[in-house]
Structure 1
Amino acid sequence: MLTIQQLQDIEQLQKECEIHDHVQLKLNWEMLRDRKTDPLDFFHYENGELIAFLGLYAFGSTVEVCGMVKPSERRKGHFGRLFHLAMEKVNSNGYKKILLNAPGVSDAAKFFLNKQGAEYAFSEHQMEWRETPLEETNDVLLRLATEKDYEMSVRLSVTAFGLDEDDAREMESHHFADNTDILMIDVNEETVGKLRVSREEGQAWIYGFSILPEYQGRGIGKKALRQVVKEQSSAGFTVHLEVETKNDHALRLYESVGFKAIHVQDYYRYECS
């Protein structure tokens, strides 16, 4: 579990890097605040100041890697040392797939990734909802998930995201923080989809939005999206989500509701030797 001081230090360094580089880092704060006993975070301090940070974020057998270095302390090997320690942890934990994450416009990150021999895999748009009139929806119900929804949640993760069943079951067993809601999407008293909403510092992020294949193309996803956006916006949150850049169908859906792309995150595959 990370200490309050460590979390504050990470946040301060993130702000400094984002302002200097004009980027948005993806540090998965929802997971950072809910760390358990397994150490997945790596720090380099000098004179009590956090100089470099790297975090591992496990999603079943896949692990994502993201980190940062104080702008004035780059090219001194700090991040390379943390990366080496992190890869030792990745090996010991037996993750099958490693994805290194970096802002699409970060030249420093690309320099490091190329040096490691990482190969570009895909990119994601980080999108923000811009106020748009939203129609009322009455025939789609969003409700909080219960333990009875476990098997359906696993099925949705397998069919919508292509996860293998073991990974899906591990991810669905994860306990999220109190600022996160798991919502099931019901139509005519039948569950056909799900999504997750995480709220942090005035922002609401939508994750894991999925509809069973046999119910896609009926406008259900659009209605559910309009409903959750309206609820979070009315509660005073700005609303955000992520979508893979080559997923044209999802991209058009989100744009039709009022989302605009504001940042790009690049993902690179890495083979740990």
Structure 2
Amino acid sequence: MLTTQQLQDIEQLQKECEILDHVQLKLNWEMLRDRQTEPLDFFHYENGELIAFLGLYAFGSTVEVCGMVKPSERRKGHFGRLFNLAMEKANSNGYKKILLNAPAGSDAAKFFLNTQGAEYAFSEHQMEWRETPLVETNDVLLRQATEEDYEMSVRLSVTAFGLEEDDARAMESHHFADNTDMLMIDVKEETVGKLRVSREDGQAWIYGFSILPGYQGRGIGRKALRQVVKEQSSAGFTVHLEVETRNDHALRLYESVGFKAVHVQDYYKYECR
């Protein structure tokens, strides 16, 4: 578990890097604040100040990696040392896939990734909803998930996201145990989809949005998104989500509801040496 001071130090370093580099870092704060006993975060301090940080974020057998270095302390090997330690940890944990995450506009990150021999895999839009008239509907129901929805949630993760069943079960077990923001999407008393909403610092983020393949193309997803956006915006939250740039269908769906791309994150595949 990370201490309050460590979390504050990470946040302060993130703000400094984002302001000076004009980027947005993806540090998965929900996971950082929910760290358990296993050390998945790596720090370099000098004179009580956090100089470099790197975090591992496990999603089943895949682990994402994101970190940062104080701008005035770059090119001194700090991040490289943390990276080597993190890769030793990733290797010992047996992750099947390692994805290195970096803002698309960060030249410093691209330089480091190139030196490590990382291979570009895909990019992801971070999107924000811009106020748009939303048509109300009452034929799609969003309800709080219960333990009885666990198997359907696993099925949705496998069919919609292509996850292996073991990975899907591990992820859904975590969400059902620790999160009260999982919503199931019902149509005519039949569950056909799900999404999760995380709220913090005035922002509501939509994750894991999925509809069973047999129900896609019927407007169900658009109606469900309109409902959740309306609820969150009415409660005073700005609404955000993420989507891979190569997922044209999802991108068009989100744009039709009023979402606009504001940041891009690049992902690189890395093989441990």
Give the TM-score category using the shorter length: over 0.9
Contact 1:123–1:267 (CA under 8 A) maintained in structure 2: yes
Gaps of 5+ in 2: none
Distance 1:144 1:112 in 2: 43
Match of 2:169 in 1: 169
Contact 1:179–1:200 (CA under 8 A) maintained in structure 2: no
Match of 1:142 in 2: 142
Distance 1:272 1:38 in 2: 20
Q: Please, what is the CA RMSD of the aligned residues?
A: 1.1
Q: 1:177 to 1:264 in 2, by over 3 A?
A: farther
Distance 1:76 1:138 in 2: 58
Contact 2:101–2:265 (CA under 8 A) maintained in structure 1: yes
Contact 2:175–2:182 (CA under 8 A) maintained in structure 1: no
Aligned-residue sequence identity (percent) comes to 92
Distance 1:144 1:30 in 2: 19
Q: 1:96 to 1:178 in 2, by over 3 A?
A: closer
Distance 1:176 1:220 in 2: 24
Distance 1:115 1:145 in 2: 45
Contact 1:34–1:176 (CA under 8 A) maintained in structure 2: no
Contact 1:56–1:66 (CA under 8 A) maintained in structure 2: yes
Contact 1:180–1:197 (CA under 8 A) maintained in structure 2: no
Distance 1:171 1:87 in 2: 22
Contact 2:131–2:258 (CA under 8 A) maintained in structure 1: yes
- Give how far 1:137 is off: 1.4
- Give how far 1:176 is off: 7.1
For the residue of structure 2 that corresponds to 1:184, the secondary structure is: strand
Distance 2:79 2:53 in 1: 7
Q: 1:173 to 1:58 in 2, by over 3 A?
A: same
Query: TM-score, normalising length from structure 2?
Result: 0.98
Distance 2:47 2:263 in 1: 34
Say which is worse superposed, 243-252 or 172-181, in terms of deviation.
172-181
For the residue of structure 1 that corresponds to 2:66, the secondary structure is: strand
Distance 1:84 1:248 in 2: 36
Query: TM-score, normalising length from structure 1?
Result: 0.98
For the residue of structure 2 that corresponds to 1:128, the secondary structure is: strand
Q: What are the superposed Cα offsets for residues 36-91 of structure 1, whole Å, 9 maximum, x if unpaired?
A: 00100000000000000000000000000000000000000000000000001001
Match of 1:246 in 2: 246
Match of 1:48 in 2: 48
Q: 1:55 to 1:233 in 2, by over 3 A?
A: same
- Structure 1: 4+ residue segments shifted above 2 A: 175-180
Distance 2:56 2:188 in 1: 41
